[in-house]
Amino acid sequence: MELSSGPVPDRTVGSVEELMELLHACRGAWDTPDRSGDPVDLHDHALQTSHLLRRSHPADKELQVAGLVHDLGHLLHPGDDAGHADTAARAVRPLLGDRVAGLVRLHVPAKRYLAAVEPDRTLSPQSALTLRAQGGVMGPEEAAAFARDPLAEDAVVLRQADDAGKVVGLDVGVMEDWRPVLELVAARLDQPGNGPRRRREQPR
């Protein structure tokens, strides 16, 4: 049987080991297939974003992990700028839970929100280019609705780290440093009393 080398639609991640394999596969993968986008690959961008979040919010492991996995959609569906956040959120929700998935999903709306409330804020050339495809600057009503989301404040923090984590050659550790943090977040969701935050895919 010949295996497809194309993107896997609606993929979900079932284990930390599988997630680590995807994160390692981000080395040499880019936000744009032709490498015309951001100056660092998805691997270095993930490490830098999560590193910044660990520095600013050291106790919030879920926020840090959201920074690590937020752009996996670019790996799973190359070229899908508009949908990459939703793709990544669907992929990690069964393993990492609703809050991490929600923050990942909102990192694109957070860019649109910040463009509305901070119009002088500078975006990277690629981020500015994709803003229109992702819905453009939010209008007042949409921005107000976003701000009411319980995850909005943390999503903005994630977005700010996302925008800053694009420095060529910056050493912020290695991907394996994050395996224990991923294991911790996944394990917390299995503890009694945490509710239906982690939902395994049922066999079909």
Q: What are the pLDDT digits (tens) for 83-111? A: 999 999 999 999 999 999 999 999 999 99
Specify the pTM: 0.87
Query: Exposure pattern of 139-174 as b/e (b: 16+ CB <10 Å)?
Result: eeeebeebeeeebbebbbbbbbbbbebbeeeeebee
What is the Cα–Cα distance from 30 to 167, expressed in whole angstroms?
14
**Is pLDDT at 3 greater than 60 in this prediction?**
no
pLDDT digit string (tens) for 57-71? Answer: 999 999 999 999 999
**Among candidate residues 93, 91, 64, the one with its CA nearest the CA of residue 158:** 64
What is the Cα–Cα distance from 151 to 113, expressed in whole angstroms?
13
Mean pLDDT computed over every residue of the chain: 89
pLDDT digit string (tens) for 124-167? Answer: 788 888 888 899 999 999 999 999 999 999 999 999 999 999 99
